[in-house]
Amino acid sequence: MRKRIVAGNWKMNLSLDEAMALANELKVKIDALRGSAVAEEDNPLPEVVLFPPYVYITRILDMFSGYKGVWVGSQNCHHEEQGAYTGEVASLMIRSAGASHVIIGHSERRSQFGEDDALLARKTKQALKNGLTPVFCCGEMLPEREAGTHFGVVTEQLKNGLFWMDESQLAKTVIAYEPVWAIGTGVTASPDQAQEMHAHIRKLVAGTYGEPSAENMTILYGGSCNAKNATDLFSQPDVDGGLIGGASLKADDFSRIIQSLWTT
């Protein structure tokens, strides 16, 4: 069965005290969800993945130690195994610190740090080699959407960044569709827009790897997803959860988004 995930990308936000307080609050909220009347054996809570800044990863991991269903990942990784790359962090380090996931190809990395598809392919290779689950982001910019080239843009990003993998590697990967015009803008893709792109992505996976791989692929939506619109987005058949930015910094909003996925 396809995994359903709610992930929180904290980006470059929060002091350590704030991050610990948020994690603590989240723990209480998740416990409350688990204990609530809707909890059922055959409907477990969706997986939750938190992406704090690197320096907080071990602290957040400690906080959730022994806690089922909550994972911690990094927002980026370097494309080399190790070496003279001052200020950079390798997949091997992230994994050995206990994290399980890594975001690769976020649009902020693509646009602000010039990360291109070839580099992102190298990052996903490193991540997989070291046992991390890549959460590979794709998505078009506003002019591309307006010009009607959005399907082609996403196709190229996936073909170049991801489809070098074999089937077993792809099975360990998550895709996140994040239209750039929806990130941090308060403008969300409509449920129809999200669904048609997710269906397109699933079809691409099917065309390259076959139906079973496509059927099992988790595809998250990201871009101004919040407690109000999550249910509508998650009701779409090809939307398997969310990669949440701003709303993941508020425990109440984030837990309501988890609840939306759980009850949809």
Q: Which of 251, 196, 259, 197 minimizes the C-alpha distance to 230?
A: 259
- Cα–Cα dist 216/214, whole Å: 5
Residues 6 or more apart whose CB falls under 8 angstroms from that of 69 comprise: 30, 44, 45, 47, 48
144 binds ligand 13P (CB under 6 A): no
For residue 150, indicate whether it is catalytic. no
According to CB under 6 A, which one of 184, 207, 210, 212 is a site residue for ligand 13P?
184
Contact stretch for ligand 13P (CB under 6 A) within 32-40, 80-88, 195-203, 223-231: 223-231
- Cα–Cα dist 3/221, whole Å: 14
According to CB under 6 A, which one of 224, 229, 255, 260 is a site residue for ligand 13P?
224
Angle between helix axes 150-161 and 117-129 (nearest 10 degrees) is: 50
104 binds ligand 13P (CB under 6 A): no
The site that binds ligand 13P (CB under 6 A) totals a number of residues, namely 14
Identify residues 45-64 at the interface with ligand 13P (CB under 6 A).
none
For residue 41, indicate whether it is catalytic. no
Query: Looking at beta carbons only, is 162 or 214 nearer to ligand 13P?
Result: 162
- Cα–Cα dist 75/137, whole Å: 11
Site track 9-48 with ligand 13P (rule: CB under 6 A), x = hit: x---------------------------------------
Among 79, 106, 150, 198, the one annotated catalytic? 106
Residues 6 or more apart whose CB falls under 8 angstroms from that of 188 comprise: 182, 223, 224, 225, 226, 229, 233
Work out the end-to-end distance of the chain between its first and last CA atoms, rounded to an integer number of angstroms.
Answer: 16
Known catalytic residues are: 106, 178
* Positions that interact with ligand 13P (CB under 6 A): 9, 106, 178, 183-184, 222-225, 243-247
